[in-house]
Amino acid sequence: MIALPVAAVTAADVARATQDITGTEALERRTGAGDALVTAVGGGPLLQAPDPNEFAASEAELTGGPVDTAAAPPTAADVRAVLGERTRLLEVRRGAVVSVATDAGFDDAELLEVDLTDPLAAGLVELTSGRLPEGPGEVVVNAALAESGPGLLDTLRLRDGPSRAVVGTVESTEQTGYPLVAGPVGVGDGATDRVATTWIAETGPDGVSWEQVRALNAIGATAVSRVVLEDPPPLPPEVAELMAGSGPDEGLVAAAVLVVTMALMEVVLLAGPAFAVSARRQSRTLALVAAAGGTPRQGRRIVLASGLVLGGLAAALGTVVGLAAGWGVLPLLQLFSDSRFGPFDVPWSHLPVIAGFGLLSAFLAAVVPAVVASRQDVVAVLAGRRGDRRPSRRSPVLGLGLVAVGVALAAYGAGRASGGETLIAGSAILTVAGTVLLVPLVVAGVARVGRRAPLSLRYAVRDAARHRTRTAPAVAAVAATVAGVVALGIATSSDEAGNEQGYEAQLPMGWGLVSGSEVDAEGWAAAATAVLPGAEVAVVRGPVADDEEAGTYASVEVVPPGDRAGGSSTLFPNGWNSSLGTDWLVAAEVPDALAVLVDAGAATRAEADAALAAGGAVLLSEGDLSAGVELGVERYDLDTGEPLGQRVAERVEAAALPAGGGTYPPVAGVLSPAAARAVGLEVAPRAVLVSGAEISARAAEELDQAVAVTGRDGYLYVERGYVAPDETVVVQLVLFGLGAVLMLGGTLTATFLALADARPDLATLAAVGASPRRRRGVAAAYALVVGGTGAALGAAVGFVPGVAVSFPLTRGFAGDGVAARHVLDVPWTLIGLLVVALPLLVAALVWLTARSRLPLAARLD
């Protein structure tokens, strides 16, 4: 119970440290075989930390001055002027994404342009087959791309460029899951022209110093220097101040405190029964010590010392096992991660803390048995009887007080608009701690209720009540486990239910929409017809906002009469979505998709169609449109966003459509073709709607591939209503699995310790004629008492933080204020499995595995 948690935490910490690559770890992945990696940024002088990935920013931005956007990025000559004319620079361009022809159409791939045959590039990629590219017409690809398209000796075709020969396969030393194309500079046919140029620099034996890094910053470049990272200098004051930030996040601190406290409490409670049984076996020795003049304090020290010795040995063993387990599990973890792990890393500074956690757990687990042992009746123990004294009444009173404070704190946190999560986390600790103090009282109450139960169950509840120092920690451990699982289960279920209630459909149910930045309505419609022969295909038309040639973009505005100050915000206080591929539809009548989506009645739709027929507009707004609206178009500079003073406005007739009951309308509205012409809007196809046929998952995949073949960047969306993410189901399963493991471990441990402690009593039962099955029945009943009592108590306690945290989790926002919406969803199936099914399962396992016969022994106490 001590070694296993220490081993688990140690293994997890080793795995985390190994996958977290910082500082000089795997430096060759960034700098290759060179001394530094220099990146040309431009825009004036920069400030950076020794590792620019941690911090790098424009000096002008930090001082509040204007950024020199005209300052060109430094060139290779500028870099050599700083590092020395003998510096050798290998140009590297990375970060661009290219579209590559695959077996299924086109797929995006990361582009790396560098001469991989240069020795300075060693460490950027690993060659797995074939050879490295030697000319501008050759490339290598990784396995993620080769699986779906061009592999070794195939031809790679770029959507916007020439074809290249694939001469080898490689794997990036940083990540493996995303498709990769690599070749000499220029192989992407200009795809990397807009990404920052980097160079791997080789300067000589002294490397690139921090002074040279600062000099590179002065010309608008950042640098990752090998010698700087190996011996980092003090941070510049302004950088240190910015990197310090505003302190740790309050919510994360509260969550960390909650997790550590609950974990410590759980380990203490799980180990408690073992120390209680150990102390009982030492009762005669302790009684002899007391009879010889030993004080109660010395008796407590004896028990606590045994706890420290056992805890220290368990912590040391757990640390060693954890290190071995962490090393062994790394290859398995790497299979589930696309990012390459670093070298095996042991966080030595963490190990004493983790081992100390185990030692503290053992010490705390031995505290209650030590106190009970020091208070035992010496005469009774030496006479062969149990010397337990009556439990104190102060503990239940204190427990009730803690539970009351926890409930009040949870209620207060639930009612707060912000910051309530920290209070609720604190309330969970108080409530569980109070429950632990109440467990002996609850066990005694269960014993009184079980007076008329069958013999095995009656014996189990009375034995549990008689040996509360052994039973209470086990019941409390189960209760704490179930409380945490129930609280998290209610939180995740309520959060998911809130997401479902707040979901707003983008299209009518079962419809599909093909949209993209580059529209090919004719090709998309043909693809949809080919994949779904019986489908109805409609082209969505809307305004063209951007004019690349003129360097402008147009913004449509609608203003109610007499409200120029409020503008469009008066009619659309919450804004709108662009569910149909455009902000504004242009049509002679209300499109069917929009009418179905907002559930427009016949009369409302007829009124809207009349407004469009009259050359007006239809708005999805609750505003008063009886006097019409002013439809305007303002044009802005495409680069600076400044208005050009070319506003065109026209008063048009308007009608309103309901927004469909959601927070955001699917579009702003519908403009008639005449209204669009009146304000000078260019109209073009914006998307393609598909309806009238079932779009299965397979059909959607085929249509996506058919759309990709058209050569345009199209994307298919199919409305299937709210679909719960897989993570929600996984979380519920993990919670149940965690609860089951902890409940199983705690219950079985307590049960078999109780059976070992009760061997004289069970032997007496056998001597007076009890059948061999009776012992199995008693064992199963004891497991049922521990598991069932703890589960029921924990479920009740878990409702307190679970219900409370559902308020901040599901509190929605509407307009400019907090909405009153609150969603509570209790996972009754999960709770039923924990409270009913799992205790019965544990009891059945104990019944099947407990020994039926014991050698007859004399009763000792």
pLDDT for the residue 43: 81
Domains of the chain, by residue range, sit at: 28-124+182-244, 457-503+724-861, 512-718
| DSSP H or E segment with residue 306 | helix 296-335
At residue 114 the predicted structure's pLDDT band, cuts being 50, 70 and 90, is: very high
- In 3D, which of 828, 813, 531 has the Cα closest to residue 696? 531
* pLDDT of 818 over the 50 cut: no
pLDDT for the residue 503: 82
What does the pLDDT look like over 28-67, one tens digit per residue?
888 999 999 999 998 889 999 999 988 888 887 777 666 6
At residue 491 the predicted structure's pLDDT band, cuts being 50, 70 and 90, is: confident
For the ranges 147-151, 243-247, 854-858, the one whose mean pLDDT is highest: 147-151
d(CA 686, CA 309): 74
Instruction: Share the mean pLDDT of the chain.
Output: 83
pLDDT for the residue 112: 94
**CA trace torsion 501, 505, 510, 511 (10° rounding):** 180
- In 3D, which of 685, 641, 740 has the Cα closest to residue 542? 685
* pLDDT of 232 over the 60 cut: yes
pLDDT for the residue 583: 87
In the predicted model, what is the mean pLDDT of residues 86-108?
87
Distance (Å) of CA 641 to CA 31, 68, 552: 39, 18, 9
Distance (Å) of CA 249 to CA 17, 246, 255, 551: 22, 8, 10, 43
What does the pLDDT look like over 750-808, one tens digit per residue?
777 777 777 777 777 777 777 778 878 888 898 899 889 999 999 999 999 889 988 88
What does the pLDDT look like over 254-270, one tens digit per residue?
666 666 776 777 777 77
pLDDT for the residue 428: 85
| DSSP H or E segment with residue 619 | strand 617-619
Which residue type is seen at 787?
G
In the predicted model, what is the mean pLDDT of residues 148-160?
85
At residue 323 the predicted structure's pLDDT band, cuts being 50, 70 and 90, is: very high
d(CA 25, CA 344): 10
Residue with the bigger pLDDT between 223 and 287: it is 223
Range of weakest confidence among 70-74, 665-669, 709-713:
709-713
d(CA 216, CA 35): 14
Range of weakest confidence among 210-219, 380-389, 835-844:
380-389
Question: Percent of the chain scored above 90 by pLDDT?
Answer: 26
pLDDT for the residue 140: 96
At residue 388 the predicted structure's pLDDT band, cuts being 50, 70 and 90, is: low
pLDDT for the residue 39: 95
